[in-house]
Amino acid sequence: MSLSILAGSAHPALADAVARRLGRSLVENGLERFPDGEVHVRISGSVRGADVYVVQPTSPPVEANLIELLLLADAGRRAGARRVTTVIPYFGYARQDRRVHAGEALGARVVADLLGAVHVDRVIAVDLHAASVEGFLAMPLEHRSAVPLLLEALRPLAGAESVVVAPDLGAAKLAERFGAILGLPVAVVRKTRVSGSAVEVRGVSGEVRGRKPILVDDMISTGGTIEAAVRAVRAAGARPGGVVAASHGLFVGPAVERLAAAGLERIVVANGVPPVATGALPVERVDLAPLLAATIEELHSGEPVDDPPLSS
Ligand code: R5P
């Protein structure tokens, strides 16, 4: 079975880098938007009988990128692909993995069902907001993590006087993982979300006084969580500056101004979403292409995949 890599329009540079690592060119396809707003896709290269991988993060514009991903998977199947795997380096809607208030939808479940509806055989994802999203997927998931890459970039910036900070309770497990590997203590900021872009802090658990904060989270969206956490740890006596590591750097809305005001030394994110303008922010992007290419290679060749489950 031949191997074919397809790219949507969300992040063709990453898809191309993955394809090149696998010694392939991207399969040609045309993406067009009809005057009424509909997305139209057409695979012009041949994928008949192939093992097809569609690379597309569902980053902003989320709905357009999601529908493109679904249409490409469907087009691949209808063009005779033997197996279709979606490679989703950032899985939008994963934060809607549970209902916080009555009347809400379970967005992550709906997206998982849509992948099933177009008969996706397998999903490759990176650092899902919640590992529980796997339970919504009808097909097997290969869940990969950018954490080893983030750690490598962070290591030279983390001295013995640092503290790993979870900016909310949801990131506590991740912070424990960073803390254990870096041999550093961990603190947790007690955050409550007030709206999609506003958060409130109720305090900090753990000792941060005199220490340099290393804040870790799965994603930076509007920057509100990091901004509030930096303010809280500084109020608790942490040193100015500090470093942030997050798998997904979306930097939407007021993120750039918020993070600039936080006076951070470095913001390390993975390149699973396309880079947006971040002005003078000290952003470093670690490259997911080798990890994604290796995962595809393993799946394609049928070799055993030995990445440990994230929830362990
Ligand atoms: C929340 O549970 C997530 O882990 C992130 O902390 C959050 O999504 C970041 O969003 P923002 O940057 O808008 O505060």
Tens digit of each residue's pLDDT (9 = 90 or more) over 38-71: 999 999 999 999 999 999 999 999 999 999 999 9
Specify the pLDDT at position 199.
Answer: 81
Spacing, Cα 2 to ligand 1 middle (Å): 39
Instruction: Using the Cα atoms of residue 69, residue 71, residue 72 and residue 73 in order, give the sign of their dihedral.
Output: positive
Question: d(Cα 199, Cα 230) in Å, to the nearest integer?
Answer: 13
pLDDT-derived band at 172 (thresholds 50, 70, 90) equals: very high
Q: Which atom of ligand 1 is nearest to the CA of 168?
A: 6
Between strands 212-220 and 243-249, the pairing is parallel
Residue having the nearest C-alpha atom to atom 6 of ligand 1: 225
Spacing, Cα 171 to ligand 1 middle (Å): 9
48 burial via Cβ count (<10 Å: 0-12, 13-18, 19+): exposed
- All residues at 6 or more sequence positions from 35 whose CB lies less than 8 Å from its CB, including other chains: none
Q: Which atom of ligand 1 is nearest to the CA of 255?
A: 12
pLDDT-derived band at 198 (thresholds 50, 70, 90) equals: confident
Specify the pLDDT at position 304.
Answer: 63
Specify the pLDDT at position 7.
Answer: 98
Phi, psi of 59 (to 5 degrees): -85, 175
Specify the pLDDT at position 193.
Answer: 82
From the CA atom positions of the chain, what is the Rg in Å? 20
Q: Which atom of ligand 1 is nearest to the CA of 227?
A: 14
Q: Is the pLDDT score of 192 beyond 90?
A: no
- Mean pLDDT over 253-279 rounds to 97
In angstroms, what CA-CA distances link 47 with 16, 33, 84, 109? 17, 23, 10, 29
pTM of the model: 0.94
Residue having the nearest C-alpha atom to atom 4 of ligand 1: 218
Which amino acids are annotated catalytic?
Answer: 191
Which H helix or E strand runs over 13? Answer: helix 12-21
Residue having the nearest C-alpha atom to atom 2 of ligand 1: 170
Q: Which atom of ligand 1 is nearest to the CA of 228?
A: 14
Specify the pLDDT at position 201.
Answer: 83
Q: Is the pLDDT score of 303 beyond 90?
A: no
Spacing, Cα 77 to ligand 1 middle (Å): 35
Q: Is the pLDDT score of 311 beyond 70?
A: no
Residue 156 and residue 174 in contact, taking contact as beta carbons nearer than 8 Å: no
Question: d(Cα 259, Cα 238) in Å, to the nearest integer?
Answer: 17
Question: d(Cα 187, Cα 5) in Å, to the nearest integer?
Answer: 42
Question: d(Cα 146, Cα 128) in Å, to the nearest integer?
Answer: 11
Spacing, Cα 219 to ligand 1 middle (Å): 6
Question: d(Cα 88, Cα 205) in Å, to the nearest integer?
Answer: 34
Omega before residue 61 within 30° of 0, cis: yes
- All residues at 6 or more sequence positions from 79 whose CB lies less than 8 Å from its CB, including other chains: 43, 46, 47, 48
Spacing, Cα 129 to ligand 1 middle (Å): 9
Residue 189 and residue 166 in contact, taking contact as beta carbons nearer than 8 Å: yes
Question: d(Cα 264, Cα 281) in Å, to the nearest integer?
Answer: 8
- Pocket, ligand 1, Cβ cutoff 6 A: 95, 167-168, 170-171, 197, 199, 217-225
DSSP conformational letter for 155: G
Phi, psi of 300 (to 5 degrees): -65, -40
Facing residues of 40 across strands? 32
Residue having the nearest C-alpha atom to atom 5 of ligand 1: 219
- All residues at 6 or more sequence positions from 230 whose CB lies less than 8 Å from its CB, including other chains: 213, 215, 242, 262, 263, 264
**Cα end-to-end span (Å), the chain:** 34
Specify the pLDDT at position 138.
Answer: 97
DSSP conformational letter for 110: H
